[in-house]
A and B are shown apart, each in its own frame.
Chain A
Amino acid sequence: MTGLRFLVRRLGAAVATLFVVAVVLFAGSEVLPGDAASASLGPDATLEEVEQRRAELGVDRPWPGRFVEWIAGAIRLDLGVSSVSGQPVVDLVAAPLAATGLLVAVTAAVSVPLAMGLGLVSGLRRDGRLDRTLSAVAVVAVSIPQFVVAGLLVLVFADLLPVLPAISLPPLGGTALDRPEILVLPVTALTLFGAAWASRIVRAAVIDADATPHVEAARLAGLPERVVVWRHLLPAAVPPCAQTFAWLLSGLFGGTAVVEVVFNYPGLSQTLVAAVRNHDTAVLEGVGLLLAAIIVVAFVLADVVVMAVDPRLRVAGR
Chain B
Amino acid sequence: MSRLRWVAVGCLVLVVLAVVGVALFGPLLAGAPEQIVGLPYSGPSPASPLGTDNSGRDVLDRVLAGGRPLVVVPVVATVLATLLGLLLGLAGGYFAGVVDTVVSRLDYVLLGLPPVLILLVLLHGWGYSATTMTAVVVLTGTPFVSRVTRAETLRAVEDGYVVAAYATGDSHLSVIFREILPNIIRPVLADFGTRLAIAVTLTAAAGFLGFGSGGPNWGAMISENVEGIRLTPWGVAVPAVLLGVMTVAANLGIDRLVGRVLR
Query: CB distance B243 to A145 under 8 Å?
Result: yes
Size category, A interface? 35 or more
A142 CB contacts on chain B under 8 angstroms = 251
**Does A81 have its Cβ within 8 Å of any Cβ on chain B?**
no
User: Could you say which of A22-30, A55-63, A124-132 contacts chain B?
Assistant: A22-30
Instruction: Count chain B residues whose beta carbon lies closer than 8 angstroms to a beta carbon of A.
Output: 48
Partner of A276, one of B108, B114, B120: B120
Partner of A148, one of B106, B211, B222: B222
**Does B7 have its Cβ within 8 Å of any Cβ on chain A?**
no
**Smallest Cβ distance from B239 to chain A, in angstroms?**
8
Subset of 26 A-B contacts with CB under 8 Å: A24-B109, A24-B113, A29-B125, A34-B126, A139-B248, A143-B244, A143-B252, A144-B248, A145-B205, A145-B243, A147-B222, A148-B204, A148-B240, A151-B237, A155-B240, A250-B112, A254-B116, A257-B117, A261-B209, A261-B223, A273-B210, A275-B124, A288-B121, A291-B113, A292-B113, A295-B114
B124 CB contacts on chain A under 8 angstroms = 28-29, 34, 275-276, 279, 281, 284
**Smallest Cβ distance from A188 to chain B, in angstroms?**
15
8 closest residue pairs by CB, A with B? A254-B114, A32-B125, A143-B251, A28-B121, A145-B201, A143-B248, A254-B116, A144-B244
**Does B233 have its Cβ within 8 Å of any Cβ on chain A?**
yes
Query: CB distance B112 to A292 under 8 Å?
Result: yes
Partner of A152, one of B110, B126, B244: B244
The complex places the Cα of A273 from the Cα of B119 at a distance, in Å, of 11
Total A-B Cβ pairs within 8 A: 154
**Does B208 have its Cβ within 8 Å of any Cβ on chain A?**
yes
The complex places the Cα of A275 from the Cα of B121 at a distance, in Å, of 10
Known interface pairs A142-B251, A145-B247; A33-B126 also in contact (CB < 8 Å): yes
**Does A206 have its Cβ within 8 Å of any Cβ on chain B?**
no
**Does B230 have its Cβ within 8 Å of any Cβ on chain A?**
yes
B105 CB contacts on chain A under 8 angstroms = 17, 20
Contacts of B217-263 to chain A: CB distance below 8 A: 219, 222-223, 226, 229-230, 233, 236-237, 240-241, 243-244, 247-248, 250-252
**Does B127 have its Cβ within 8 Å of any Cβ on chain A?**
yes
**Does B37 have its Cβ within 8 Å of any Cβ on chain A?**
no
Query: CB distance A272 to B114 under 8 Å?
Result: no
**Smallest Cβ distance from B143 to chain A, in angstroms?**
12
**Does B22 have its Cβ within 8 Å of any Cβ on chain A?**
no
B-contact 0/1 string along A274-299, CB 8 Å cutoff:
01110101001000100110011001
**Does A208 have its Cβ within 8 Å of any Cβ on chain B?**
no
Closest to B249 in A: A143
B110 CB contacts on chain A under 8 angstroms = 24
Query: CB distance B222 to A262 under 8 Å?
Result: yes
Known interface pairs A17-B108, A147-B222; A139-B251 also in contact (CB < 8 Å): yes
Query: CB distance A154 to B125 under 8 Å?
Result: no
The complex places the Cα of A144 from the Cα of B201 at a distance, in Å, of 8
The complex places the Cα of A12 from the Cα of B40 at a distance, in Å, of 56
B208 CB contacts on chain A under 8 angstroms = 145, 147, 258, 261
Query: CB distance A257 to B201 under 8 Å?
Result: no
Query: CB distance B250 to A291 under 8 Å?
Result: no
The complex places the Cα of A179 from the Cα of B251 at a distance, in Å, of 37
Known interface pairs A154-B236, A250-B114; A33-B125 also in contact (CB < 8 Å): yes
The complex places the Cα of A255 from the Cα of B129 at a distance, in Å, of 23
Query: CB distance A272 to B248 under 8 Å?
Result: no
Query: CB distance A143 to B240 under 8 Å?
Result: no
B223 CB contacts on chain A under 8 angstroms = 147, 261-262
The complex places the Cα of A292 from the Cα of B109 at a distance, in Å, of 9
**Smallest Cβ distance from A203 to chain B, in angstroms?**
17
Contacts of A156-190 to chain B: CB distance below 8 A: 158-160, 166
The complex places the Cα of A140 from the Cα of B222 at a distance, in Å, of 19
